[in-house]
Amino acid sequence: MQFVILIVLFGGMMWFMQRNQKKAAAKRQEQLDTMQPGSEIVTIGGLHGILSSVDTAKGTVELDAEGVILTFDRAAVKTVKTPAAADSGVDDVIADAKTDAASAVETADKADSPFE
């Protein structure tokens, strides 16, 4: 009886592990299928760049890394950020920096200098 319970527990554990692996594989495949030019890409080697083109027939992608065009297999892509998500994050940071710089200049103008 104890042996049967052990086998059932082992079988359940294997089923849950397999289910999680299938979910992760489906998520990765969906991510690779939705890649489009302009997306930010990070390869498994750690190279960051902008996706220039996707060749589904050959299974390759062209990555623009600061003016250098590199060709990789689709399997070499680790993470993908969509162009809208990548651009909005950068735009927010730039807008915040401009606001902070403008307020710093105003504060510096208003401050009384001991050298005047």
Domain boundaries, given as residue ranges, for the chain: 1-34, 36-84
Q: For residue 111, is pLDDT > 60?
A: no
Closest CA relative to residue 73, chosen from 57, 64, 61:
61
Residue 56: band (very low, low, confident or very high) from pLDDT cuts 50, 70, 90: confident
Helix/strand/coil percentages in the chain, nearest 5: 55, 25, 20
Residues 6+ apart with CB under 8 A from 83: 36, 38, 39, 40
Q: For residue 45, is pLDDT > 70?
A: yes
Question: How large a percentage of the chain has pLDDT more than 90?
Answer: 28
Predicted confidence at residue 33, as pLDDT, reads 86
How far out from the chain centre does Cα 105 lie? 35
Q: Which CATH class is domain 36-84?
A: mainly beta
Q: For residue 9, is pLDDT > 90?
A: yes
